[in-house]
Amino acid sequence: MLVMIIMINQSPKQRIKKEPVNTTSLEVPSSNSTLYCYVDASWIDENSKAGISWILTEVHGRCLLKSSSSIEPIDSVIETEDKASVEAVGQLKRLNYRQVTFCGDSIHLYQYLEKAKKQGHSSLGQAEIQSYLEDIKALAPSYFRFKFIGRNANHLADALAKEARLKESLCMNDCTELFVMFYLEKKQIIG
């Protein structure tokens, strides 16, 4: 499980001034969702650490949250993509996000998930990735959607995953302080 790190040693004015990640070049796929989560992984070989990442944006492409982490060596690229997707789905589910479309460039993983969601039931995927597909489907609530996108459309999540792999960071999560401030204020008001 990834741990969220929140910068609380800054004044509220400092938090507000901090700009979110530039996401003007993110392609927003067509769907009924109001939120999009771009997921990717960076894998070299089964002996090297890998990197995983996700970026949550609103419908106009503005970054709301992002997360990346270096993970221990994994046997294959598809396992790494699955791990990234499971982490993204799990974290956004825990944060109570709804109507999220998860977008990834792993054709086998995302085309299967997209098809299974449209059909409303599981159809068999490729045998070697079936268990990974089941991991994601078991975790994802019915209001989450999946969409395959091309590698070029996923370049920001790709860069974030590569950076995490290269830095071999144990765990790094980042969210815009504006969101964190809003969340904390909401918790105090609702209490």
Q: Which residue has the higher pLDDT, 153 or 172?
A: 153
Cα first-last separation, the chain? 26
State the pLDDT confidence band at 77, using cuts at 50, 70 and 90. Answer: very high
Cα–Cα distance between 143 and 116 in angstroms, integer? 13
Per-residue pLDDT tens for 111-143? 888 888 777 655 556 666 778 788 888 888 888
Look over the chain and give the mean of its residue pLDDT values, rounded to a whole number: 76
Other Cβ atoms within 10 Å of 35 Cβ, number: 18
- Res. 178: pLDDT tops 60: no
Residues linked to residue 56 through DSSP beta bridges, in sequence order: 37, 65
Domain 12-190, architecture per CATH: 2-Layer Sandwich (3.30)
| DSSP strands (E only) in 14-133 | 35-42, 50-58, 63-71, 100-104
Q: Which residue has the higher pLDDT, 53 or 20?
A: 53
- Structure-token pair, residue 173: 């999560």
Q: Which of 66-70, 125-129, 163-167 has the lowest mean pLDDT?
A: 125-129
